C-alpha cells in the first residue's frame, strides 16, 4: 500500500493502521493461538518443577513457605501452570479443546492424569 503526498510523490507509509478482524476464521485462529500460548506457558511451569527431588510443598503450610523462597516460587509455578492448563478446556470467552480431540492425541495414562481433578470432585 502506498500514499501520495501533496507534491504527488508516492510514499510508503511508516506504519499501518490496525484493523479489527472479526470474521469467523480470524476469531477461530485467535482462539487457537491463545490456547497454544496457554499450553506453552503451562508446559514451561511444569518443566521448571520436574527436576525437584521432593516435589512441591503444599501452600496450606504457608508458614513454611515464606521461610523458603524456592518452595514459595515452586508453589506459584504449580498453581499457575495448572490454571493455564485448565483454561484450555474451559468454556467461556474462547473455544475450548474438546475431550474427544484430546483423547485422540493422548495415551491412556496421560488422559487419566488430565482427568485427575475431576475424578475425586
User: Which pLDDT value is given to residue 42?
Assistant: 94
The answer to pTM > 0.85 is: no
Asked if residue 64 lies in contact with residue 71, where contact means CB atoms within 8 angstroms, the answer is: yes
CA atoms within 13 A on the CB side of 109: 0
- Res. 43: pLDDT tops 80: yes
Residue 90 phi/psi, 5-degree rounding, is -90, 150
> Any long-range contacts for 49-58 (C-beta under 8 Å, 24+ apart)?
49/74, 49/77, 49/78, 49/81
In the chain, what is the straight-line distance between the N-terminal and C-terminal CA atoms, in Å? Answer: 57
Average pLDDT over the chain, rounded to whole? 77
Average pLDDT on 96-103 reads: 76
Domain spans of the chain? 23-119
The three cell numbers of residue 116 are 485427575
Q: ∠ at Cα 82 (84, 73), nearest 5°? A: 105
List 10's β-bridge partners, or say none: 4
User: Which pLDDT value is given to residue 13?
Assistant: 64
- Res. 1: pLDDT tops 70: no
Amino acid at each position: 500500500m502506498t500514499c501520495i503526498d501533496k507534491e504527488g510523490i508516492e510514499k510508503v507509509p511508516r506504519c499501518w493502521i490496525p484493523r479489527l478482524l472479526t470474521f469467523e476464521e480470524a476469531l477461530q485462529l485467535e482462539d487457537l493461538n491463545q490456547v497454544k500460548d496457554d499450553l506453552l506457558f503451562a508446559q514451561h511451569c511444569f518443566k521448571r518443577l520436574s527436576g525437584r527431588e521432593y516435589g512441591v510443598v503444599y501452600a496450606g503450610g504457608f508458614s513454611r513457605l515464606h521461610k523458603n523462597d524456592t518452595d514459595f516460587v515452586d508453589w506459584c509455578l504449580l498453581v499457575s501452570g495448572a490454571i493455564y492448563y485448565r483454561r484450555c478446556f474451559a468454556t467461556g470467552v474462547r473455544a475450548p479443546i474438546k475431550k474427544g480431540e484430546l483423547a485422540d492425541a493422548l495415551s491412556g495414562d496421560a488422559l487419566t492424569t488430565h482427568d485427575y481433578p475431576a475424578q475425586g470432585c
